[in-house]
Amino acid sequence: MRDLKEVKVALAGNPNSGKSSLFNALTGSHQKVGNFSGVTIEKYEGYVDYRGYRIRVVDLPGTYSLTAYSPEELVTRNYLIEDVPDIVIDVVEGPNLERNLLLTTQLMEMEVELLVALNMFDEVEAQGIDIDVKQLQRLLGCHIVPTSAKKKQGLGSLLDHVIRIYEGNIEIKKNKLAFRPEVDSATDEITQLLAHEPELGKYNLRWLAIKLLENDKEVYNLVRQYPVWVKIELALQHVIQETEAVYKSDPEISITEDRYAFIRGAMQECVKQRREKKQSLTDYIDLVVLNRVLGLPIFLFVVWVIFHMTFTLGTPIMDWLDALFGMVAESVSPLLPNDTLRSVLVDGVIAGVGGVLIFLPNIILLFIGLSFLEASGYMARAAFVVDKVMHRFGLHGKSFIPMITGFGCSIPAIMATRTLKSRSDRLATIMIIPFMSCGAKLPVYVLLAGAFFRPAVAANVMFGIYMLGIIVGLFSALIMKKTILKSESEPFVMELPPYRWPSLRSVLVQAKTKAMMYLKKAGTIILLAVLLIWTFSNYPKNPELDAGLERQIATIEQTIIDEEQKERAIIEAENKVNASQLEYSIAGRAGKLLEPVIRPLGFDWRIGVALVTGLAAKEVVVSTMGTIYSLGESDETSPELKTILKNDPGFDEATALSLMVFVLLYIPCVAAVSVMKKEIGEWKAVAIYGAYALTVAWIFSFITYRLANLLL
């Protein structure tokens, strides 16, 4: 096929305007997801071939406005300036036209090639709203196409308009929004001053002038570099005094009020409500869901459902994956003659890949749940219901769900913090998630509490550990928000969108996107880290130990006649050698090196080794202890491991409690750290977090150990 001519189209619009549905309806399966450069905001791109053109569509983040205050808005306007799309389609929610037109007026100010998609037009008709589209076109100075992304109506007409505008076949007289005279003349004056700087040529100068009047940080910093700034500053001061004198207001507020005045006028001229609006279904649902008595229980129930869907449903799939990788390892093993190669491939690579994939079921299930909540409109209500508690600790209502998810697994939880708009809120939430005791830490508690406490006490101990995690997490958030993350939090000024039934497709696309992002971005680091830890706990090899083992086995073969006894003796000898080998490895040496530091917590070098290998995954703490106490393969239910710990002179209740506290609070597994790095974007913050977690873990373990020694 010959090359198609390309048209670059960008979709802009408010959150909940049906922009993403329109994007999906237009581009179908021709989509890919990336990130806007420098930020963790997802960028959906796709294309559609239409009438000899390849129309490339970018779905910009949903925004109400184009200021410099939120990363979404900055990304949107920077894209419009830097990438200069041929046509910008502004998707407006038909039934809620008035609220959506604010963004339209700002796109008009940018003088982009604008086309308005009057979306959800089916609902407009159903609600008895009349919109005079022709007149509205005249007022906005751009073409308007009624569409319904859900019912796939008006899409052909929209694409026709795109092509005809691109070809210059239909023209429309652009309209300029007039501000009050003082602001208008200041805009003109500043625009003329800006024209003296040729370097600013790529910007729309009138738009820059308006942004300067709006006191926009970004544009301010841009223009301030130029000599003409001196004159502009004078002009700005002048208009500020003028608006203050005439309107008792400043240019920023004046401009916004004038935009709303224009919108109000347009609404009066073009929109008629034919019959009285009925109570919507949303009103009735909210009467129950946001009820003062029922609101909180309903919220907790929803969280409970999401949690169970993710982890109760996910765990069997994880076990199944685990077994699958075990099978693969077993069937590959005999094919490899060389011991070292087999060990690298089976225990290193296959186990490492397994370690990455094992988290996929949780991630996919959680994001199916979260996308459903988000698209249905409940997410905003959840934040509304729970914000008061979270705000007390310096967090946002939207931090709650990621935090709770942390009890299952930190990885999807950290990824779920993307709903938080402010970076400082997001960082604080990410950093406390690992304090929420994840599922992989449970085996450690089960082993230790089971070995040292009666069942009734053991349950209380475990409950105490979980509570300690929550308390440490919340207070850590409070401390961080008061110190290193002091910058402005996201204000809680949030629209509650009407409830909508989400399309299955968009929910699944979201989940798929997250899964791919995890595999692509975090997968490689996790794999490397798991391999590294595997190397640490296997190398260097002590050849003498192997030789000694062979000699021992030979002796056993000769001296013991009973087959069963012989086998037991050989296994025992192997376990001892494995323990010595681990002691000889880098991890073993690290454990010994650590001993002076962890001695005050009641730990000897063997626990040190388990803590080091536990960085691969928390449940590895248990299996490492099995190896190092010469028991071979063990898990938290092994009676031998429990007995041996109980009889070990260096191990008592106080040590057990102290170790549980340490495992709860210290650095999470490498997979979680990798995801953290990917979401935060810089190693420095991750390092600060690591140092903080280690310090907190040490202090709390120390206190626990000393107190337990005093009291028990």
Partner 1 sequence: MLLSDLKVGDKAEVTGLLAESGIRRRILDMGLVKGVRFKVLRVAPLGDPIEIVFKGVYLTLRKNEAAGVQVEKTGEVGDGRPMGNQRSRWRFGS
Q: Which residues bind partner 1 (CB under 8 A)?
A: 64-65, 67, 69, 95-96, 98-99, 102, 249, 252-253, 256-257, 260, 273, 276-277, 279, 283-284, 286-287, 290-293, 295-296, 380, 384-389, 391, 488, 491-496
Prior bond of 497 cis (ω within 30°): no
Nearest to 306 by CA among 386, 408, 159: 408
> In the complex, what is the shortest distance from the CB of residue 102 to partner 1, in angstroms, rounded to a whole number?
7
Q: Which is nearer to partner 1, 41 or 97 (CB)?
A: 97
Q: Which region, left, alpha or beta, applies to residue 375 given φ > 0 means left and ψ of -120 to 50 means alpha?
A: alpha
> In the complex, what is the shortest distance from the CB of residue 342 to partner 1, in angstroms, rounded to a whole number?
59
Q: Which is nearer to partner 1, 280 or 565 (CB)?
A: 280
Judge contact between 90 and 18, C-beta under 8 A.
no
> In the complex, what is the shortest distance from the CB of residue 150 to partner 1, in angstroms, rounded to a whole number?
19
> In the complex, what is the shortest distance from the CB of residue 385 to partner 1, in angstroms, rounded to a whole number?
6
Q: Which is nearer to partner 1, 159 or 302 (CB)?
A: 302
Torsion of CA 562, 564, 567, 569, to 10 degrees: -70
Torsion of CA 536, 689, 432, 423, to 10 degrees: -130
Q: Which is nearer to partner 1, 98 or 269 (CB)?
A: 98
Judge contact between 164 and 170, C-beta under 8 A.
yes
> In the complex, what is the shortest distance from the CB of residue 214 to partner 1, in angstroms, rounded to a whole number?
9
72 CB neighbour count, 10 Å cutoff = 20
The DSSP line for 191-247 is HHHHTT-GGGGGS-HHHHHHHHHTT-HHHHHHHTTSTTHHHHHHHHHHHHHHHHHHH
Q: Which residue has the tokens 């101990």?
A: 461
> In the complex, what is the shortest distance from the CB of residue 65 to partner 1, in angstroms, rounded to a whole number?
4
CA dist., res. 592 & res. 598, Å (int): 10
> In the complex, what is the shortest distance from the CB of residue 411 to partner 1, in angstroms, rounded to a whole number?
30
Q: Which is nearer to partner 1, 254 or 362 (CB)?
A: 254
> In the complex, what is the shortest distance from the CB of residue 66 to partner 1, in angstroms, rounded to a whole number?
9
Q: Which residues contact 139 (CB under 8 A, 6 or more apart)?
A: 175, 265, 266, 269, 270
What's CA 276's distance to the chain center, in Å?
A: 42
Judge contact between 166 and 86, C-beta under 8 A.
yes
Judge contact between 146 and 154, C-beta under 8 A.
yes
48 membership: H or E segment, kind and range: strand 42-50
> In the complex, what is the shortest distance from the CB of residue 277 to partner 1, in angstroms, rounded to a whole number?
4
List the Cα angle 39/43/44 in 5-degree steps. 170
Q: Which is nearer to partner 1, 389 or 467 (CB)?
A: 389
> In the complex, what is the shortest distance from the CB of residue 254 to partner 1, in angstroms, rounded to a whole number?
10
> In the complex, what is the shortest distance from the CB of residue 681 to partner 1, in angstroms, rounded to a whole number?
22
Q: Which is nearer to partner 1, 67 or 581 (CB)?
A: 67
Cα–Cα distances (Å) from 345 to 348, 354, 527, 534, in that order, read 5, 12, 13, 11
CA dist., res. 107 & res. 100, Å (int): 12
Q: Which is nearer to partner 1, 203 or 260 (CB)?
A: 260
> In the complex, what is the shortest distance from the CB of residue 333 to partner 1, in angstroms, rounded to a whole number?
57
Q: Which is nearer to partner 1, 279 or 559 (CB)?
A: 279
Nearest to 424 by CA among 665, 66, 71: 71
CA dist., res. 77 & res. 106, Å (int): 10
Q: Which is nearer to partner 1, 192 or 291 (CB)?
A: 291
CA dist., res. 137 & res. 506, Å (int): 31
> In the complex, what is the shortest distance from the CB of residue 531 to partner 1, in angstroms, rounded to a whole number?
45
Q: Which is nearer to partner 1, 177 or 448 (CB)?
A: 177
Q: Which residues contact 652 (CB under 8 A, 6 or more apart)?
A: 452, 602, 712
Q: Which residue has the tokens 């949903």?
A: 62
Q: Which is nearer to partner 1, 28 or 491 (CB)?
A: 491
Please classify residue 297 by burial: count the beta carbons closer than 10 Å to its beta carbon, then call 0-12 exposed, 13-18 middle and 19+ buried: exposed
Q: Which is nearer to partner 1, 64 or 534 (CB)?
A: 64
